[in-house]
Amino acid sequence: MSVVWHEVECGAYSADLALWEELAEEAGGPILDLGCGTGRVALHLARRGHAIVGLDVDPPLVAAFNEQAGQLPATARVGDARHFDLAAKFGLVLAPMQLLQLFESSAERSQCLRCVASHLRAGGLAAFAIVESMPPPVPAPPPIPDAREVDGWIYSGLPIEAELDSGSIRIRRLRQTVSPQGELEEELYEIELHMVETGAVEDEARGMGLRPVGRRAIPPTDDHVGSTVVLLEKEA
């Protein structure tokens, strides 16, 4: 079931793809995609000829990634972004969709940064997408749910709330499943993003041999807030 909801709620997002394409062209490969899911970013880049490895903690997502990859120069492995050893060096490591903010503490972020540094070749680049704050609410019509049909089943995910709560952003979605017979099931799904400033990530990275080399902006969309991408270079 994680595969279906990942595709429903993340598969259509594309506001960040142009930036990842640009960084991939500059890096010269190979590329590591942390929190790759079913391959939204990684397979997009692989279709443009980039060799890429994906890493995700969820085995069903990794299996779906590899099934979709087919003959593309892409493969995914099961692993935790805080503790992994792929016995390989990369020119670019990507962490889209606020992966770094899923970790609860500076210690956990540092574990991830240490692993990233050990997998970058000298001069290689790491890029982490971060949401630093919630924009002020503005009058707007209700959002349109993300939806997908699979074998006669309808899956719908509706964003209903995003709020700051004790140093975290809590995002709640109403998930609805309609069977081919018309039976409806509902559940409330919540994800927590721990607040962190870009400057704090840059400071943590310096201790891991990663040098801050700039920041890039991913613009907001009607359904998603914008984010800042922290760029870190592996020191020689």
pLDDT in tens, 2-56: 898 888 888 788 899 999 999 999 987 799 999 999 999 999 999 999 999 999 9
The pTM for the full model equals: 0.90
Whether 1 shows a pLDDT value over 60: the answer reads no
Neighbours of 193 (CB within 10 A): 20
Confidence of residue 235 (pLDDT cuts 50, 70, 90): confident
Coil/strand/helix, residue 186: strand
Whether 225 shows a pLDDT value over 80: the answer reads no
Both 153 and 68 in a single domain?
A: no
Q: Find the helix packing angle between 59-69 and 2-10, rounded to 10°.
A: 70
Q: What is the pLDDT of residue 140?
A: 61
Both 64 and 115 in a single domain?
A: yes
In this predicted model, which residue has the larger pLDDT, 236 or 95? 95
Both 62 and 164 in a single domain?
A: no
Cα(138)–Cα(222) distance, integer angstroms = 12
Q: What is the pLDDT of residue 130?
A: 93
Mean pLDDT (whole number) for 60-74: 96
The token duo for 230 is 């922290």
Q: Which helix (H) or strand (E) holds 61?
A: helix 59-69
Q: What is the pLDDT of residue 200?
A: 94
Both 122 and 47 in a single domain?
A: yes
Q: What is the pLDDT of residue 135?
A: 61
In this predicted model, which residue has the larger pLDDT, 60 or 144? 60
CATH of the domain at 166: 2.20.25.110
Both 30 and 89 in a single domain?
A: yes
Whether 72 shows a pLDDT value over 80: the answer reads yes
Q: Which residues contact 192 (CB under 8 A, 6 or more apart)?
A: 102, 168, 169, 170, 171
Both 188 and 175 in a single domain?
A: yes
Q: Per the domain annotation, does 139 fall within a domain?
A: no
Question: What percent of the chain lies above the pLDDT cut of 70?
Answer: 95
Both 108 and 216 in a single domain?
A: yes
Residue type, 10: C
Q: What is the pLDDT of residue 137?
A: 56
Both 151 and 203 in a single domain?
A: no
Domain assignment of residue 106, given as a range: 2-132+196-234
Q: Per the domain annotation, does 31 fall within a domain?
A: yes
Each residue's pLDDT tens digit, 150-197: 899 999 888 887 777 778 888 888 999 999 999 999 999 888 889 899
Each residue's pLDDT tens digit, 109-147: 999 999 999 999 999 999 999 988 766 555 566 677 888
Whether 210 shows a pLDDT value over 70: the answer reads yes
